[in-house]
């Protein structure tokens, strides 16, 4: 038995497992509690024409809430335009693509202006590419048009503590990227080709959404980041401006006369601090757990921010 041969290591592993389980449960409970408290519907209180603001914060792991918010604003006749306020390094490929599709569809009906905060990179940029227009601050971190896949290999650690993985698979590539063994050359080529295909989809979305020649996008889509100022020169954004500027732009494009008033997709006045903190912890926790144990592909910028 592993516990008899290595009692100290067994104790450490058990302690980490129990602690992690408790911590995750605690954070999820708080998150769901805050969500239920703040689940008021601001659309029911709308009077007069307004700009709807949807906030996208942190790692994009799930698209359901954002897409629902986009749809609600799209279907409401009093919402004349939408601002997508993005502060995200990106995230999952599927989630980013789904949000991009919803943004693109909505932009055909009413103006959608993406407003970049501190960072809107990789998947954070992807979801904005389908908007009517994009604004950013001069120092916003954006771009990072690329795909990344990574995981931690535990083979040496398992060998030291006396554990061996046993895998029975139906095909050669079924466990490609396994964290418990070295990757073969054929698997490496297979995953590289897979990445190229996903990257090509990103390039297509930017070229179509921003109306830039595909070859031009290919030249700048090597994963590097750009400042908002650089992005403007490359036509990745349309204007340098703040959230207020984006809101004003959206409202005028939506033919709102006079003062531009906004309504947020969620009630940010109640427990907003707690809500944002718990959301960020959940995002970081989920991302770190899955990225370390399984091959995790994403439109995600992992650099400094």
> Residue 19 has what pLDDT?
66
Left (φ > 0), alpha (ψ -120 to 50) or beta: where does 122 sit?
A: left
Residue 286 lies in a domain: yes
Q: What angle separates helix 7-37 from helix 272-293, to the nearest 10 degrees? A: 140
Shortest CA distance to 103 belongs to which of 88, 81, 87, 122?
Answer: 81
Angle among Cα 305, 96, 189 to the nearest 5 degrees reads 85
pLDDT of residue 296: 60
- pLDDT tens digits, one per residue of 92-138: 999 999 999 999 999 999 999 999 999 999 999 999 999 999 999 99
> 117 and 33, same structural domain?
no
**CB neighbours (10 Å) of residue 45?**
9
| Residues assigned a catalytic role | 122, 174
Exposure b/e, 231-270, CB count within 10 A at least 16 = b: bbebebbbeebebeebbbbbbebbebeeebebbbbbbeee
Do 222 and 127 belong to one domain? yes
pLDDT at 208: 96
- Model confidence, pTM: 0.76
* C-alpha closest to that of 51 among 83, 26, 20: 83
- Residue 149: its pLDDT value, please? 80
Q: Residue 218, Cα to own-chain centre: how many angstroms?
A: 22
Name the stretches of the chain with pLDDT < 50. Answer: 2, 34-39, 267-273, 289-294, 304-305
Q: What is the DSSP letter of 60?
A: B
Residue numbers of the domain that contains 213: 42-151+177-300
Question: Within a domain: residue 79?
Answer: yes
Give the model's pLDDT for residue 152.
74
Element housing 86 (H / E): strand 79-88
What's the CATH number where 207 sits? 3.90.226.10
Structure confidence at residue 165 (pLDDT)? 75
- Do residues 12 and 58 both lie within one domain? no
- According to DSSP, the residues that pair with 240 across neighbouring strands are 136
pLDDT of 247 reads: 97
Q: What per-residue confidence (pLDDT) applies to 15?
A: 63
Does residue 202 form part of some domain?
yes
- Total structural domains within the chain: 2
DSSP H/E element including 193:
helix 185-210
Together in a domain, 2 and 52: no
Q: At what angle do helices 93-107 and 64-75 cross, to 10 degrees?
A: 10
CA pair distance 22, 29, nearest whole angstrom: 11
105 within some domain:
yes
Are residues 114 and 262 part of one domain?
yes
68 alpha carbon, distance to own chain's centre: 16
3-state secondary structure of 105: helix
Alpha carbon 287 to chain centroid distance?
11
- Asked whether residue 8 falls in the same domain as residue 140, the answer is no
β-pair partners for 87: 57
Answer yes or no: do 101 and 2 share one domain. no
pLDDT of residue 268: 46
8, 134: one domain? no
Query: Which pLDDT belongs to residue 298?
Result: 72
Taking the alpha carbons at both ends of the chain, their separation in whole angstroms is 45
- Could you tell me if 21 and 147 lie in one domain? no
Exposure of 244 in the CB half-sphere (CA atoms within 13 A): 1
Q: Residue 91: beta bridge partners? A: 60, 299
Cα–Cα dist 110/6, whole Å: 63
210: helix, strand or coil = helix
């Amino acid at each position: 038995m592993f516990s008899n041969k290595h009692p100290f290591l067994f104790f450490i592993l058990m302690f980490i497992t129990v602690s992690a389980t408790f911590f995750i449960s605690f954070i999820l409970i708080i998150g769901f509690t805050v969500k239920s408290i703040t689940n008021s519907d601001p659309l029911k209180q709308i009077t007069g024409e307004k700009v709807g603001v949807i906030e996208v914060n942190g790692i994009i792991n799930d698209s359901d809430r954002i897409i629902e918010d986009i749809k609600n604003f799209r279907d409401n006749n009093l919402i004349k335009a939408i601002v997508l306020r993005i502060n995200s390094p990106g995230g999952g490929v599927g989630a980013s693509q789904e949000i991009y599709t919803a943004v693109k569809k909505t932009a055909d009906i009413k103006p959608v202006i993406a407003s970049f905060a501190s960072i809107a990179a990789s998947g954070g940029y992807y979801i904005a590419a389908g908007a009517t227009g994009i604004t950013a601050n001069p120092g916003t971190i954006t771009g990072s048009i690329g795909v990344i896949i990574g995981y931690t290999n535990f083979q040496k650690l398992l060998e030291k503590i006396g554990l061996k993985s046993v895998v029975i698979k139906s095909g050669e590539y079924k466990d490609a990227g396994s964290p418990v063994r070295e990757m073969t050359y054929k698997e490496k080529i297979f995953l590289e080709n897979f990445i190229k295909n996903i990257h090509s989809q990103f390039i297509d979305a930017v070229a179509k959404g921003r109306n830039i020649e595909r070859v031009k996008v290919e030249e700048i889509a090597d994963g590097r980041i750009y400042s908002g100022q650089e992005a403007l020169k490359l036509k990745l954004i349309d204007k340098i401006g703040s959230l207020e500027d984006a809101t004003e732009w959206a409202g005028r494009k939506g033919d709102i006369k006079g003062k531009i008033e906004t309504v947020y997709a969620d009630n940010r006045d109640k427990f907003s601090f707690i809500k944002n903190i718990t959301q960020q912890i959940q995002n970081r926790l989920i991302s770190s757990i899955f990225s370390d144990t399984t091959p995790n592909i994403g439109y995600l910028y992992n650099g400094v921010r």
